[in-house]
Amino acid sequence: MRFQVYLSIGSNKGNRLGYIEYACIHLKNVLNDFNVSRIYETAPRYYKHQSKFLNLAASGYYKDSPFSLLREISFIESGAGRKRNPSIPKGPRTLDIDIILFGSEIIKTEQLTIPHEGLKERRFVLIPLLELNPTLYDPVTRRPLWEYLYKLDLQGVYLYNIPENINEY
């Protein structure tokens, strides 16, 4: 069985675009039918004393468990030099890849929550996700994701101008 997966990818430390490209190149080897949204530059949300993020969404199909995908994502993040700082959990990072949706799965464990707990409150997640698939819905509430988007303030999310060939992974 294969599951349609939606990820959020972000970077705000060092060569942000380079880390995003690194993630996409590696994720293309993990997900079938890999596709990405446009890239957005976003203001930091939780810990304000850090640089702006570059964010995008990715989608594809995965054949194994969500926990297996989480391990593969952690390996990609580590390869990009991601070091977690427990004193600033939402602080600067070279690469952050979150599993937002995994088919219609609903999971809540210490290691993994799907749908992602920040899904309903983050424009920088919702805008690129809906760009990839405007019919997405929250598997918990069964509400369309666009309903959440229109309830949020602008949150400093802007389209980022990049070279045309970025989507050629």
Condensed to tens digits (0 to 9), the pLDDT of residues 119-164 reads 998 999 999 999 999 999 999 999 999 999 888 887 788 899 876 6
Separation between Cα atoms, residue 97 and residue 30, nearest integer Å: 13
Condensed to tens digits (0 to 9), the pLDDT of residues 6-49 reads 999 999 888 999 999 999 999 999 999 999 999 999 887 766 66
89 — pLDDT class (breaks 50, 70, 90): low
Side-chain-side CA neighbours of 13 within 13 Å: the count stands at 15
Return the active site residues.
82, 93, 96, 98
Cα dist from 132 to 96, 128, 165, whole Å = 19, 6, 17
Q: Is 79 helix (H, G, I), strand (E, B) or coil?
A: helix
Per the DSSP assignment, residues forming a β-bridge with 101 are 6
Domains of the chain: 3-167 (3.30.70.560)
Q: What is the pLDDT of residue 1?
A: 86
Strands, E, within 23-169: which ranges?
Answer: 32-36, 40-42, 53-62, 96-102, 107-108, 113-114, 157-159
